[in-house]
Structure 1
């Protein structure tokens, strides 16, 4: 074996993290255990010295300048969300959206659109959309299983491809880390953008929501749940044990404040606008470079930090100047916002570190060596996607899956000469599969909770939809691997999903004019 790799042992950190997460469901402890075993190998199998080396890996990765800025961005986004919650702006916007809902289809479509509108954070989208829309969907006899499915399928998929979300720093950070590892001088942010058309599973999952809602096509256990709700008026099954929403929000809007929809819109517009301006400015756009060239040379980390800070200033000014909220209440909301993002920050830090350990052990060269002649460049995106699907479903976390796969898959893809954008997209969207339907996924649990649905019923009714999107996405990744552009592959996938959904759907015997398209009794 070449001196730059430890051979089979180089796989131990990632494998240990997977196995421990599967059996303990503790992502952070499992990731750190993987770091520790890898560091122990590096120091000659001394566990005490391995612990010290593990901590050094974490410190080195957390204090790397680019990573520091990404962590700061994440904390600022948390502060912004905390202040928006305090303002009541999200609820005010949601109220504006639901005023004109008159039919069952409109209620389901409004839920879908609201879930996508709150794109800055998947947790926030689930909490707000579920809390606001549940009384409305109950009024129109939409099953709680259907509500939970819509919540689950319009939160993480939207946030993961949004250029302004709590996911951005995590995903761009992983991309940047591997670009450095393989020695490719490219913009991590631009590569993130290039991967979006190849996020086949995410895009198909979102499309399926609208196909199911607009065309009223359900199949599998969901069809029975919807039949029960329509014909019997039971939004929950007889034996359902719903997960209820939280009893009290940690951030409560003061009684004297009249929430306005623009309390939410103003900081988001500032965030988007300053991000675009900063990317263009830092990339030399005002010095004569074209848009693409400017984005390629932009200081991504600086841009998103400036933008998130600007958004915080905007909402802070609104809270103190217009809503007349006391500074101490604002400070408390900021602190609660920080708590919201502590888990993403911890996962991100350990994901960087386990990637560094895997790199030090030479996992890339080893996997490349054993894969030569087995995995071709054309097969790679589909293989990566299926691997991400299996891992994410098993461990229930998309972020943990991303952290495990990036250090292995991207060096392998680079060595095989595979295009980076489809390979990166395969990891990022494949990891969402488990986030969608694994019973141990936090977002799946939250979707059940804020839909007040039975958790097992939610998982059982959603899995057929996720599997259909996943199978079609696998085929699209095979096409992309062999050079088919995304703009050709994606329409084929959309047609396939729509056709199969229609063929599998069980047409309910309830007339549409008296139920789905009309006002509830």
Structure 2
């Protein structure tokens, strides 16, 4: 049975897993149930064969080259955090930063700015920013839900539009492939640059962060979470289940160690430097120019080299400078592994259910519905909404781009629509699910490095994502009728500001969340 024949059933596994996750808060069971439903459909509605096929699908997912490297990166990240906690370096750096940060607003602004500054890779940005800022935001009673939102909204949305990042090569490659097939004689990189002003969702998601932080606004479930943190001093809800179980105080720094701030800073600098070098080297530098090298960079290899180098330096610092015994270091590494076991399990199942949804043909199904109502003027908005639905269903922006480009770009070309506008709609719509879907790897990593309950993070972030997505949809409609991006972006920002004001100032905090939340 071909993928196209599953129709609306292709939405069932992901939809069931997402809704069950948000209602029951049992992430692993919900994800596996969704996988089992999809596998059962694939094998011809035999539930027993579906269960066996589910296990094979999980194995296939985690043994893929990129995924296995990302899992190893996650484990090494846990080991690095364990050693950092043992060194006391994070606490020492946090004390230095806290002495210069005097307000909640400064702590939130610092988190957002740091997330944006590390724009080369979304995974590295999430890990570094979360690790640095978590003790600081805790000090100012900022909820973990808010920290996770700040991480999630200043990593992928920024990296996706950065000219120098791990995303640019993939995005430019997709554009170049379609141009080659259609015989379009334009520079793929130039069109990529031209599409940036039309990345309405990505740009508005970042703008909303700074509107909310600067004005001190929150709305929806986030408003309750922040009210709890401010008034009760609880950065986590009473029944929250944070993805990182081990806290810094669970790994005790030996009494004889004189913790230095650079015990933390030095490994982070090495991580960033080696990752950056790895991106350039794996892409062919110095034989190729830096920008060209980044287009062909091996992202998974680069971040893996970076975190391994950071771990090696930390081991040398602990044993050589801090004079910590190897047994204590080993124990800290093991505690670090324990921190990331749950995120690793979620990532594995999230990838699998995304693959199941693709096998069922969720992309072609959504696109086929969209094609039935498409016109040149409505094409950008339809492409954006289609990409948003697909990315939310499969939890991966890159997978969504791979689905959308072969359909949307030829369609836009045939209809005579502006290619930078159509491509911008694909790229930013694909980011929507990567930004807020419970089964997205970056959403999971944001929860992990913020030390937040994953369901609470999703629940508090979805209203913000939907707001940005709604405004972006309206802008794409206007853009389809010929309004320029430079006119639309200021209008979008003003609309976003007004909507955030109404939602934060005139919607009662007791209004229930869309899904059950421990923030209630």
TM-score calculated relative to the size of structure 2: 0.68
Query: Quick check: 1:80 aligned with 2:80?
Result: yes
Distance (whole Å) between structure 2 residues aligned to residue 29 and residue 342 of structure 1: 15
Distance (whole Å) between structure 2 residues aligned to residue 69 and residue 111 of structure 1: 32
**Matched-pair contact (CA < 8 Å) for 2:370–2:382:** no
Report the Cα offset of residue 8 of structure 1: 3.6
Query: Quick check: 1:423 aligned with 2:423?
Result: no
| Closer/same/farther in 2, CA of residues 31 and 221 from structure 1, 3 Å limit | closer
**Matched-pair contact (CA < 8 Å) for 1:5–1:365:** no
Name the SS for the 2:407 alignment partner. Answer: helix
90, 110, 113: which one aligns with 1:113: 110
Q: Which residue of 1 aligns with 2:324?
A: 325
Distance (whole Å) between structure 2 residues aligned to residue 361 and residue 449 of structure 1: 32
Q: Which residue of 2 aligns with 1:300?
A: 299
**Matched-pair contact (CA < 8 Å) for 2:202–2:428:** no
**Residue deviations 1:225-259 (CA, integer Å, cap 9, x gap):** 9xx99xxxx95289x99749999833232222222
Name the SS for the 1:285 alignment partner. Answer: coil
Q: Which residue of 1 aligns with 2:16?
A: 16
Q: Which residue of 1 aligns with 2:259?
A: 259
1:291-440 equivalence runs, <5 A: 291-374=290-373, 377-384=379-386, 387=389, 403=395, 411-412=403-404, 414-417=406-409, 422-430=425-433, 432-433=435-436
Query: Quick check: 1:271 aligned with 2:271?
Result: yes
**Matched-pair contact (CA < 8 Å) for 1:10–1:363:** yes
More displaced, 315-324 or 42-51? 42-51
**Residue deviations 1:248-300 (CA, integer Å, cap 9, x gap):** 8332322222222212211111111111111111211212x222221122222
Distance (whole Å) between structure 1 residues aligned to residue 259 and residue 192 of structure 2: 35
Report the Cα offset of residue 156 of structure 1: 2.6
Report the Cα offset of residue 359 of structure 1: 3.3
**Matched-pair contact (CA < 8 Å) for 2:72–2:304:** yes
Q: Which residue of 1 aligns with 2:151?
A: 155
**Matched-pair contact (CA < 8 Å) for 1:91–1:128:** no
Q: Which residue of 2 aligns with 1:517?
A: none
**Matched-pair contact (CA < 8 Å) for 1:112–1:151:** no
**Matched-pair contact (CA < 8 Å) for 1:220–1:505:** yes
Distance (whole Å) between structure 2 residues aligned to residue 355 and residue 448 of structure 1: 24
**Matched-pair contact (CA < 8 Å) for 1:413–1:423:** yes
**Residue deviations 1:98-156 (CA, integer Å, cap 9, x gap):** 22455xxx452134314654775768866874644555x4xxxxxx6x76675354233
**Matched-pair contact (CA < 8 Å) for 1:280–1:298:** yes
Distance (whole Å) between structure 2 residues aligned to residue 184 and residue 68 of structure 1: 32
More displaced, 480-489 or 73-82? 480-489
**Matched-pair contact (CA < 8 Å) for 2:388–2:430:** no
**Matched-pair contact (CA < 8 Å) for 1:93–1:264:** yes
Output the aligned Cα RMSD: 5.1
| Closer/same/farther in 2, CA of residues 21 and 207 from structure 1, 3 Å limit | same
**Residue deviations 1:401-456 (CA, integer Å, cap 9, x gap):** 65388767852453122756643433434554578xxxxx9978998989xxxx99
Distance (whole Å) between structure 2 residues aligned to residue 94 and residue 218 of structure 1: 25
| Closer/same/farther in 2, CA of residues 126 and 275 from structure 1, 3 Å limit | closer
More displaced, 69-78 or 362-371? 362-371
Distance (whole Å) between structure 2 residues aligned to residue 471 and residue 95 of structure 1: 41
- Unmatched tracts of structure 2, length 5 or more: 119-123, 161-165, 181-190, 413-421, 439-443, 506-520
Name the SS for the 2:44 alignment partner. Answer: coil
Name the SS for the 1:415 alignment partner. Answer: helix
Distance (whole Å) between structure 2 residues aligned to residue 357 and residue 217 of structure 1: 41
Distance (whole Å) between structure 1 residues aligned to residue 42 and residue 237 of structure 2: 48
Distance (whole Å) between structure 2 residues aligned to residue 379 and residue 196 of structure 1: 16
Distance (whole Å) between structure 2 residues aligned to residue 426 and residue 77 of structure 1: 30
**Matched-pair contact (CA < 8 Å) for 1:377–1:481:** yes
Report the Cα offset of residue 46 of structure 1: 2.4
| Closer/same/farther in 2, CA of residues 155 and 193 from structure 1, 3 Å limit | farther
**Matched-pair contact (CA < 8 Å) for 2:283–2:298:** yes
Name the SS for the 1:301 alignment partner. Answer: helix
- Unmatched tracts of structure 1, length 5 or more: 138-143, 165-170, 186-190, 392-400, 436-440, 507-521
TM-score calculated relative to the size of structure 1: 0.68
Distance (whole Å) between structure 1 residues aligned to residue 364 and residue 301 of structure 2: 33
Report the Cα offset of residue 313 of structure 1: 0.9
Distance (whole Å) between structure 2 residues aligned to residue 39 and residue 503 of structure 1: 44
Distance (whole Å) between structure 2 residues aligned to residue 345 and residue 485 of structure 1: 43
